[in-house]
Structure 1
Amino acid sequence: MFNKKGFLVSALLLALSLFLIACGGGTADNDGGEEAEGEGDGQQFIQILTGGTEGTYYPLGGTFAQVINDNVDSVEANATSTGASVENMNSISSGDGEIAFTQTDIASYAAEGEVMFDEANEDFSAIGTLYPETIQIVTTKDSGIESVEDLEGKTVSVGAPGSGTNANADNILEVHGLDINEDITARDLDFGDSTTGIQDGTIDAAFITSGTPTGAVESLAASIDVNIVPIEPEKAQELMDQYSYYSEDEVPEGTYGLESAVPTVAVQAMLVAHNDLSEDLVYEMTKAIFDNTDQISHAKGEEISADTALEGVGIDIHPGAQKYFDEAGVSAE
C-alpha cells in the first residue's frame, strides 16, 4: 500500500511539473539563456574596448566598467584588452563592442574615411574626451637636435604604419616644412623599440604619442640624458588651425629629468559609443563616469572632468552624452 501511494504521489508531482513547464514556468537552462542574452530581467551587457594590458586604456577601462556597474541599473559593463585606437574603431564598426577608447585624431580619420581607413564609419559618436595623449619627440641631450627642423637628414622612429603616432609625425613634420618620406629616414618602431634604438644609437629621435610620463621614456631617462624637442606655440597654432583635434600641451618640468617644461601638442584620449545604444543609456553612462570621477581608481582619473570633455572632440557627440553636457552647462568652445 505504501509503495502504491508513493507511486501515485510521484506520478502526480511529475504531471504537475510538466504542466508548469507547458504553461511557461521555464527550466534552469532557459533561465540561464535569458540572463546570458541580457533579456528577461532587462540586463544590458556593455563591452568596453580598451588597449594593451600594459597601457593606460585597459586599466582605466576596467575602472570605468566598475563605475558604470555601480551607478547604472540593469547594466553589466566589462573592459576588453585590444590593439587600441585603430582596431577599436574597426571593431565598433563591425559591432564587436559598444564603447571604445580611441584618440581624437583616429576617431576623426575613421569618421571621414581618411589616412588608415578606407571608408567613412558612421556607426559611432563621441561620449567625451578624457586626458591628453602628449606628442613627445624624444632624443638625447647629446644628439644636437633642438628643433623639429633639426630632424632633417636624421633617422627617426615615426611609429607603425597606419598608427596614430605615424599620422601625428606626418602632420607635425609637414607644418615644419619637412616630408616624412623624403626629408628623414623613417623607422616604423613601437615605443619600446624606439627608446632602445635611441639608447644604442641606431636612431636619432622618436615620435611617441602617449600620456606623460611614458614608461618607455622613463626607462630611457634612467640611463641617459633625455631631450624632448619642442613644438613652438606658433607652429602648434598652425597645426591646430589645420586639424581641430590637436591642442596645446607641455611635458612638465621634472619629467624625465627635464630642467624646464617643454611646449608641444596633444591629441586627446576619448570615449566613443556605438550609435545603436539608446540616448537614455548613453546619458546614464556618461553621467556615471563624469559625476563620479572620484571613484575612478586610476591616476588618470585626476585629469578627467566634464568641464573639459568637449575639448578637441572633432566628431559628432552622441545625443545621450549631449543631453548630459547640456544639463551640466558644458559646451564646446
Structure 2
Amino acid sequence: MKKKLMILCMSVLVIIGCLTGCGKSSSKIRFGAAGLGGMYHTFADTFTNLVTSKNKDYNLEVKTTAGSAANLRLLSKNYIQMAVAQTDLIHDAYQKTGIFKNEKKTRGYSAVAALYTEACQIVVPADSSIKSVDDLQGKKVSIGEKESGTEQNAKQILSIYGLNEKLVNEVNLNYTNAAKQLKSGKIDAFFCTAGVETTVIGELAKQCNIRLISLDQRGIDKLKKSYGFYSECTIPKETYAKQSEDVKTVGVKAVLLASDKLPEETVKNMTEILFKNKQSIQYALPVDISLDEKSAVKGITIPFHKGAAAYYKAHGMNVSTKKGSN
C-alpha cells in the first residue's frame, strides 16, 4: 500500500511539474531574421536582446534565414515562432497566391505590428552606364535570394519595365555576396529591399563608389496600380556616402509576426515591450521606424495575434483576430 501511495504521489508531482513548465514562457522562441547585413537581422538582434533583458522568462534565439518567404514557411511549420516579413508576401502566403499558390500550409501565424517601410533599392557602380531600370537589359543583376521578398519585388519592377529573365541575366545572391560581387565587377547591379540606411549598402558605399537608380514616375504609378501594397518613397540624399541626390522608388511595409502557438500573454508582453522601448529600438536602427499604435496597425491584411490584440485593446484600439479579416 505504501509503495502504491508513493508511486501515486510521484506521478502527481511529475504531472504538476509538467503543467507548471508548460505554463511558463521559458521555452526557446526562435526569431527568423533573414540574412546578415539586412534590416531584419538588425531589428531581430535588437528586439530579442531587449525582450530577454526585460523579462528573464523569455529565451529568444535569432535564426538567419533566406528572407520573407522563408520566414513565412518556417512560421507556418512552427520551425520559428517569430519573424519579420514584407506585407506583400504575407498577403500572398495567407491567401495562397503568387509563389504560395500551390502550397499546402501557409498560415499558422498572425500580425503583431507594422514596423517601417522597406525601400526597393537598385545599386550599381558609380561609373556604370546604367542610369535607369531600362538600362538593366543585357546586364548581370542579382535579384536577391531565391524566393525572398527582394526577388519578388525585383521581378515585379523589371516586369513593369518590360524586362524578364530572357532580357536580364538574373542571379540569386544574398546581400553580402551581392555587394562583394558588385565591388569585384562580377555583377552589374543588385536589388535590395530593406529599410534605409541598409547596413550592407552603407558599408559598400564606404569601400567603393556606388550609385542608386531611381524609378521614373510612370513606373512608380504602374507598380502602385498593379500591386496595392506598394507606396512611393524617397531615399534622401546623403543617406549613403557620396549620394548627392534623392532617389525615388517604391516600398513595402515590414511586419512583425508571431506564431499562433505562442501564448496570448507572451505576445501581449512582447508587444508592450516593443512599444515601451521604441526609442531604444530607434537608436539601434538606421531606418525610421513608425512605432506608434495607430500606424502599427495600418496596411495589414491578415488577422492580429490575440496577444497583440489584447495590447491594442488596452490602449483603446480594436483589431480583428478572425481568420480572413482585415
Instruction: Name the TM-score, length of structure 2 as normaliser.
Output: 0.79
Native 8 Å contact 1:46 1:99 kept in 2:
no
Corresponding position: 1:107 with 2:94:
no
SS in 2 for 1:143: coil
Native 8 Å contact 2:123 2:189 kept in 1:
yes
Give the alignment partner of residue 76 of structure 1, picking from 33, 55, 58.
58
Task: State the match for 1:85 in structure 2.
Answer: 68
Native 8 Å contact 2:37 2:199 kept in 1:
no
- In the comparison of the two structures, how many residue pairs are matched? 313
Q: What do you get for the CA RMSD once the two structures are aligned?
A: 3.6
Cα deviation code 1:20-72 (max 9, x no counterpart)? 77545977xx599638x733x64464614222455443453344335445667
Task: State the match for 1:164 in structure 2.
Answer: 149
Give the alignment partner of residue 214 of structure 1, picking from 177, 198, 201.
198
Unaligned runs of 5+ in 2: 320-325
Cα distance change, pair 70–195 in 1 and its aligned pair in 2 (3 A): closer
Corresponding position: 1:202 with 2:186:
yes
Native 8 Å contact 2:70 2:148 kept in 1:
no
Cα distance in 2 for partners of 1:320, 1:290 equals 14
Cα distance in 2 for partners of 1:75, 1:323 equals 20
Cα distance change, pair 329–137 in 1 and its aligned pair in 2 (3 A): farther
Task: State the match for 2:300 in structure 1.
Answer: 313
SS in 2 for 1:160: coil
Corresponding position: 1:299 with 2:285:
yes
Cα deviation code 1:179-216 (max 9, x no counterpart)? 32222222222223323333333322211122323333
Give the alignment partner of residue 117 of structure 2, picking from 132, 144, 165.
132
Corresponding position: 1:185 with 2:172:
no
Offset of residue 259 of structure 1: 0.6
Native 8 Å contact 1:173 1:180 kept in 2:
yes
Native 8 Å contact 1:66 1:77 kept in 2:
no
Cα distance in 2 for partners of 1:267, 1:217 equals 18
Offset of residue 229 of structure 1: 0.6
SS in 2 for 1:202: coil
Identity %: 28
Instruction: Name the TM-score, length of structure 1 as normaliser.
Output: 0.78
Task: State the match for 2:43 in structure 1.
Answer: 60
Cα deviation code 1:231-289 (max 9, x no counterpart)? 23443233233323322222221113211221112222221122344555433432331
Q: Which moved more, 1:17-26 or 1:132-141?
A: 17-26
Offset of residue 294 of structure 1: 3.1
Cα distance change, pair 221–99 in 1 and its aligned pair in 2 (3 A): closer
Unaligned runs of 5+ in 1: 1-15
Native 8 Å contact 1:105 1:245 kept in 2:
yes
Q: Which of these two proteins has the greater Rg computed from alpha carbons?
A: 1
Cα distance change, pair 22–315 in 1 and its aligned pair in 2 (3 A): closer
Cα distance in 2 for partners of 1:18, 1:298 equals 59
Give the alignment partner of residue 95 of structure 1, picking from 50, 59, 78.
78
SS in 1 for 2:58: strand
Native 8 Å contact 1:145 1:151 kept in 2:
yes
Native 8 Å contact 2:112 2:271 kept in 1:
yes
Offset of residue 170 of structure 1: 0.8
Q: 4+ residue stretches of structure 1 with deviation over 6 A? A: 16-21, 330-333
Cα distance change, pair 107–194 in 1 and its aligned pair in 2 (3 A): same
Task: State the match for 2:31 in structure 1.
Answer: 49
Cα distance change, pair 247–325 in 1 and its aligned pair in 2 (3 A): farther
Native 8 Å contact 1:82 1:88 kept in 2:
no
Native 8 Å contact 2:309 2:318 kept in 1:
no
